[in-house]
């Protein structure tokens, strides 16, 4: 029995040793891949050549598009049954939609260092208990950017304290953001803040505010519960910002590019935004607020919970892949410690614990160190969207109703009730109840 147990242990150790150099040998194998394209994602792909050299396999990138385009293409592939390519870029918000397309990576990565990834992010990479993607160094959670000079100005500090009765400093709560945004606003030349006003951007911002107000999108039976008092409070924050003129009137047509350009133009005081913008905002050639940018961890709602809608990119292996071991090896290689160090050197956030320490220690400026420390703390409060295949469809029902409340066509309660009714129908059609 002891001999048997010892043999088993040795076998496990050998297996572990084998997985220490997970890439393996795959001479003659060609993996087809569909990858997300775009400047911030490309640097990592130079590592594919290293994996090819190590394994003898080849990677044929058959599609490289923006995530929304890749999403459409993948859905078309699923409908046509042409899913025998092997590796696909994936995103935590989109992953639950691809039912049956990707396979569980755990059996393919047995012994690999899965515990070296941030546990919460590995949790958000699972769908129905299966690990369907490994996260790359493209983690997103928002923190609060602000123009430092506005908060350091003695005149502003005195006037703000006189009007609101407390000190002007970077906001700790969303109620303070509201006060500060109204205080700084001077339309049409200057606005207190801004927010993503359409698509999943608006749904996501509402979702995180809902959580911060103590609410929830769904109950355990997946019935919508966001039309609660907490939901109304959350939506009214956006309504109040819009009605008071503290955000640009066009904000319901803004998405990330407009928001980034708006803050960089110097016309906006406070801006909840993603980590990828930190370098751009502080670049004197691109941004009027360069050397004047502060970042603090995202504020709390009235329930004492911080907002923290998060998402991350990763890679998955299709169920129809002819060489799943080789594909898993590539996916692991592109998300291992060296790859994450390589990718996060471009400014994106890692998803491995050890790489977090590395990027903070090797940051090349105090600004960068501060940004990374802030986002490291922001990540502690991060939470993903509900893991249901219909999230994007539900979001498409929700955001026009949120817009209707923001522009004053409906009250917050009416808009949320209408959205809840329609989303319940969507989930009923999908067979949840």
Partner 1 sequence: MIDTKQKTTLLLLSPAIIVLVMVILGPLIFSLYSSFTPFKLTRPDSINQFIGFRNYVRIFGDEDFWAAFVRTIVVLTIALNLEMLLGLGLALLVNRATMAQKTLRTIMMFPMMFSPILVGFQFRFMFNDNIGVVNNALQSLGITQEAIPWLVDKYLAIFSICVAEIWNSTSVFAILILAGLMSLPKDPLEAAEVDGCTKWQTFRHVTLPYLMPFLYIAMTIRSLDIARAYDIVQIMTGGGPAQRTELLWTMIARTGYVDAKMGMANAMSYVAILLSIFFTVFFFRKLNQARHQLGVGL
Tokens of residue 62, six digits = 């058959």
Element housing 211 (H / E): helix 199-212
CA dihedral 47, 49, 55, 58 (to 10 degrees): 120
The DSSP annotation for 227-264 comes to TSHHHHHHHHHHHHHHHTT-S-GGGGG--HHHHHHHHH
Are 112 and 22 a contacting pair, CB within 8 Å? yes
What is the Cα gyration radius of the chain? 23
Q: Which is nearer to partner 1, 137 or 404 (CB)?
A: 404
Q: Which is nearer to partner 1, 196 or 211 (CB)?
A: 196
- What is the separation of C-alpha 96 from the centre of its chain, rounded to a whole number of angstroms? 15
Tokens of residue 16, six digits = 């572990």
Query: What is the rounded CA–CA span in Å between residue 433 and residue 427?
Result: 7
Residues in touch with partner 1 (CB under 8 A) = 72, 75-76, 78-81, 97-99, 101, 187-188, 191, 197-199, 248-253, 258, 261-262, 265, 267, 389, 392-393, 396, 399-401, 403-404, 406-407, 409, 429
Tokens of residue 242, six digits = 């819009």
Least distance from partner 1 to the Cβ atom of residue 395, Å: 9
Least distance from partner 1 to the Cβ atom of residue 180, Å: 19
Q: Which is nearer to partner 1, 343 or 401 (CB)?
A: 401
End-to-end CA distance of the chain: 51
Q: Which long-range contacts (CB under 8 A, 24 or more apart) does 75-84 make?
A: 83/318, 83/319, 83/320, 84/32, 84/318, 84/320, 84/321, 84/322
Q: Which is nearer to partner 1, 213 or 401 (CB)?
A: 401
Least distance from partner 1 to the Cβ atom of residue 334, Å: 25
Residues contacting residue 189 through CB under 8 Å, at least 6 positions apart: 267
Least distance from partner 1 to the Cβ atom of residue 198, Å: 5
Query: What is the rounded CA–CA span in Å between residue 172 and residue 152?
Result: 17
Q: Which is nearer to partner 1, 278 or 398 (CB)?
A: 398
Least distance from partner 1 to the Cβ atom of residue 108, Å: 23
Phi and psi, residue 124, nearest 5°: -80, -5
Q: Which is nearer to partner 1, 237 or 399 (CB)?
A: 399
Q: Which is nearer to partner 1, 29 or 101 (CB)?
A: 101
Q: Which is nearer to partner 1, 140 or 200 (CB)?
A: 200
């Amino acid at each position: 029995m002891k001999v048997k147990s010892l043999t088993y242990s040795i076998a496990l150790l050998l297996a572990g040793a084998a997985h220490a150099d997970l890439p393996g040998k795959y001479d003659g194998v060609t993996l087809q891949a569909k990858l997300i394209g775009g400047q911030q994602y490309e640097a990592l792909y130079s590592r594919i050549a290293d994996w090819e050299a190590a394994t003898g396999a080849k990677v044929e990138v058959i599609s490289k598009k923006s995530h929304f385009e890749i999403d459409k293409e993948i859905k078309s592939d699923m409908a046509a049954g042409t899913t025998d390519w092997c590796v696909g870029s994936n995103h935590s918000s989109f992953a639950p939609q691809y039912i049956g397309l990707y396979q569980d990576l755990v059996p393919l990565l047995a012994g690999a260092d899965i515990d070296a990834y941030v546990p919460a992010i590995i949790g958000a990479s699972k769908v129905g208990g299966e690990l369907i993607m490994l996260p790359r160094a493209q983690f997103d959670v928002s923190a609060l950017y602000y123009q430092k000079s506005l908060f350091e100005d003695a005149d502003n500090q005195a006037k703000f304290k006189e009007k609101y009765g407390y000190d002007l400093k970077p906001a700790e709560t969303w109620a303070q953001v509201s006060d500060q945004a109204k205080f700084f606003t001077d339309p049409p030349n200057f606005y207190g803040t801004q927010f993503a006003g359409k698509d999943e951007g608006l749904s996501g911002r509402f979702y995180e505010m809902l959580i911060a107000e103590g609410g929830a999108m769904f109950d355990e039976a997946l019935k919508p519960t966001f039309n609660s008092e907490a939901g109304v409070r959350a939506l009214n924050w956006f309504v109040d910002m819009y009605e008071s003129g503290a955000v640009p009137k066009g904000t319901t047509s803004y998405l990330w590019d407009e928001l980034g350009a708006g803050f960089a133009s110097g016309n906006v005081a406070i801006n909840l935004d993603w980590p990828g913008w930190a370098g751009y905002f502080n670049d004197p050639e691109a941004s009027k607020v360069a050397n004047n940018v502060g970042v603090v961890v995202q504020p709390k709602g009235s329930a004492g919970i911080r907002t923290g809608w998060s998402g991350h990119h990763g890679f998955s292996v299709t169920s129809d892949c002819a060489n799943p071991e080789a594909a898993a090896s590539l996916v692991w290689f592109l998300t291992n410690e060296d790859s994450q160090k390589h990718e996060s050197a471009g400014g994106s956030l890692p998803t491995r614990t050890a790489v977090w320490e590395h990027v903070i220690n090797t940051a090349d400026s105090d600004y960068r160190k501060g940004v990374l420390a802030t986002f490291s703390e922001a990540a502690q409060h991060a939470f993903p969207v509900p893991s249901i295949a219909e999230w994007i469809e539900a979001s498409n029902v929700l955001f026009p109703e949120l817009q209707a409340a923001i522009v004053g066509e409906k009250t917050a309660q009416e808009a949320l009730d209408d959205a809840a009714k329609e989303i319940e129908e969507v989930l009923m059609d999908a067979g949840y109840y």
